[in-house]
Amino acid sequence: MKPNPITPTIPFDRDGAHHGFLRLPHSRDDSAWGSVMIPVTVIRNGDGPTALLTGGNHGDEYEGPVALMNLANSLDPAEITGRVIIVPAVNFPAFRAATRTSPIDAVNLNRAFPGSPAGTVTQKIADYFNRVLVPMADIVLDYHSGGKTLDFLPFAAAHILDDRAQQAACVAAMRAFNAPYSMTMLEIDSGGMYDGAVEAQGKTFVTTELGGGGTATTRGVAIASKGARNLLKHAEILPGEPELAPTITLDMPDDTCFAFSERDGLFEPLADLGTELAEGDPLARIWPADRTGVAPSTITAPRSGIIASRHFPGLVQSGDCLAVIADIVG
């Protein structure tokens, strides 16, 4: 396969803190020989494990980028052993446009893996991570939240994997991240995800969902920041033990966790995030948006459990995910 066209402007193998860019050539109308400049920080101190920390895989999710901007500015090479690679806004064009997918090619980076060195801008970013950055890493953290259209209880997550030893390593890392909730996560649509590409390389992988609505909160940023430092301690890149607070363990055992809308309309929540429901309890009502005098339809909980995610905007479309109901397992 041809090499990836991205060139880093900083070294990955030199001690110290280096701030630069992943420069991706992007020839276009307003810049014939232009580039997409994806910010990157590499902090290294001698030999040791490598952590790859990323945010902005989706461009409208902010807890990760804020925490990683802070970390890139505050992590002292003298305090670490090994290497930390920080990319706060992986899909940088989407991040600058405040959109989930890229405004250049309309591709969702988290459905574009393994990517292609000859593909669109987003496919080239995926290929660079898949073939260049992920192979350098021992432990990988990718921050997500709900973006503009979902809101989540703040959780770190690990997936069910065929390799039990790898799964145990991922669960241990998720527990070290120590979000208020810890989720065994079932993906709604796993094809082309970064998560699967990283896991297929045998890496220890943690993802998160830390809120949403297209903004960040002080609480979400604090969870994200503590989680990154905890993870670096867990990987023995930072000294000391992770700071651990109680966490509630959640599970998404099967597809009945997801409630979908089958109509368009005005969303009336009947239960908020974190509410525990029994199967059949009312979850939301959807009113016709275009007339009065018509009864709403009521959406009920597809299973018993806690509302871990909900639709965020006030209007819904048919097919939207309205809620995720997770099991509380401990």
Cβ closer to Zn ion: 188 or 329? 188
Site for Zn ion in 135-194 (CB under 5 A): 144
Torsion, Cα of 255, 191, 195, 199 (10° steps)? 100
Per CB under 5 A, does 203 bind Zn ion? no
| CB of 124 vs Zn ion, minimal distance in Å | 20
**Total residues interacting with Zn ion, rule: CB under 5 A:** 3
Cβ closer to Zn ion: 42 or 62? 62
Window contacting Zn ion (CB under 5 A); options: 26-34, 54-62, 155-163, 278-286: 54-62
Residue 20 β-bridge partners: 40
Cβ closer to Zn ion: 61 or 199? 61
| CB of 202 vs Zn ion, minimal distance in Å | 23
DSSP characters over 194-249 = HHHHHHHTT-EEEEEE---TTS--HHHHHHHHHHHHHHHHHTTSSSS-------EE
- Cα–Cα distance, 10 to 72 (Å, whole number): 14
> Whole-angstrom distance between the N-terminal and C-terminal Cα of the chain?
46
**Which own/partner contact pairs does 212-215 have at CB distance under 8 Å and 24+ positions apart?**
212/61, 212/145, 212/146, 212/147, 212/148, 212/149, 212/150, 212/151, 212/152, 212/312, 213/146, 213/148, 213/151, 213/312, 214/60, 214/62, 214/98, 214/147, 214/148, 214/312, 215/62
Window contacting Zn ion (CB under 5 A); options: 56-64, 71-79, 131-139, 199-207: 56-64
| CB of 157 vs Zn ion, minimal distance in Å | 12
Cβ closer to Zn ion: 66 or 266? 66
| CB of 65 vs Zn ion, minimal distance in Å | 12
* Contact pattern for Zn ion over residues 3 through 42, marking x by CB under 5 A: ----------------------------------------
Cβ closer to Zn ion: 43 or 141? 141
Window contacting Zn ion (CB under 5 A); options: 32-40, 52-60, 135-143, 287-295: 52-60
Report whether the peptide linkage leading into residue 114 is cis, meaning its omega lies within 30 degrees of zero. Answer: yes
| CB of 309 vs Zn ion, minimal distance in Å | 12
Cβ closer to Zn ion: 110 or 230? 110
* Contact pattern for Zn ion over residues 103 through 122, marking x by CB under 5 A: --------------------
| CB of 29 vs Zn ion, minimal distance in Å | 30
Per CB under 5 A, does 58 bind Zn ion? yes
- Cα–Cα distance, 96 to 26 (Å, whole number): 15
| CB burial readout 173-192, b (16+ within 10 A) else e | bbbbbbbbbbbbbbeeeeeb
**Cα–Cα distance list, 114 to 79, 122, 198, 259, 272 (Å):** 34, 11, 10, 29, 37
| CB of 313 vs Zn ion, minimal distance in Å | 16
| CB of 291 vs Zn ion, minimal distance in Å | 35
Cβ closer to Zn ion: 144 or 148? 144
The binding site for Zn ion (CB under 5 A) comprises: 58, 61, 144
